Amino acid sequence: MQIETVELRATVADHRQGPREAHPQVAFAGRSNVGKSSLLNCLFGRRLAGVSKEPGKTRTINYYLVNGRVFFVDLPGYGYAKVSRDERASWGERITAYLTGEGRLRLVVGLVDPRIPTSPRDVELATFVRAAGRPFTVVLTKADKLGRGALAQAAERIQRELGLAEPPLIFSARSGEGRRQLLAAIARMVAA
């Protein structure tokens, strides 16, 4: 898949307020500050998704129309402690409603930072997505921050802890490593 055009089409609190077009959707989910916006900007080849050093920047569901044919959906990060318990619960409800209720969803891309321990929320996401019958791919972000040996160990650990049939993809927004492989995985699922 080659990305030629990208347009931010909607920023909504509830997926039911999102775009009505019948285009397939690919959702990007992960804990706060895992690098979702940096990954999306790397895939897009331009800076469209807001990036911040502060976790919890994405608090809405953002729909990016790619090549006029598929939506990349940036979901709010989970696990951010500096928002109210009610707001965290609301995010969880919105993400759950989207993952279970969106008929156009073709793939969930779960982002995990390999430098830190796998969180219970990461395990919950993997378990929930599989139980919902959604295709699921895990991407290890910030790969440039670890040496090859440590990255290989982290990939094995995360594959085991999340119960993945396939090893996670390795990705670095800084170097572009893994970009081609992730776009190919997305293209396969969108075409299916």
pLDDT at 62: 93
Average pLDDT over residues 74-102: 70
- Kindly state the average pLDDT of the residues 67-96: 74
Both structure tokens of 82: 């500096």
Is the pTM value of this prediction over 0.75? yes
67 CB-near residues (< 8 Å, 6+ apart)? 1, 3, 4, 5, 6
Query: How far is Cα 175 from Cα 173, in angstroms, rounded to an integer?
Result: 6
Give the span between the Cα atoms of 38 and 48, in whole angstroms: 9
Query: The tokens of 7 are what?
Result: 């347009």
Residue percentage of the chain with pLDDT more than 90: 67
Q: What is the pLDDT of residue 56?
A: 47
Quick check: 12 pLDDT over 60?
A: yes
Return the H-helix or E-strand segment holding 109: strand 105-112
Tokens 């390999």 belong to 114
Model pLDDT for residues 41-80, shown as the tens digit of each residue: 999 998 887 654 454 445 688 999 999 999 999 998 876 5
Distance, CA of 85 to chain centre: 22
Which pLDDT score is estimated for 52? 47
Residue 136 has pLDDT above 90, yes or no: yes
CA nearest neighbour of 77 among 29, 140, 8: 29
DSSP state of 15: G
On the question of pLDDT at 26 being above 90, the answer is: yes
CA angle 162, 85, 128 (to 5 degrees): 25
Task: Give me the pLDDT at residue 22, please.
Answer: 94
Is 191's pLDDT higher than 50?
Answer: yes
DSSP-derived secondary structure letter, 129: H
Tens-digit pLDDT profile for residues 151-170: 999 999 999 999 999 999 99
- Fold topology of 6-191: Rossmann fold (3.40.50)
Is the pLDDT confidence value at 111 over 50? yes
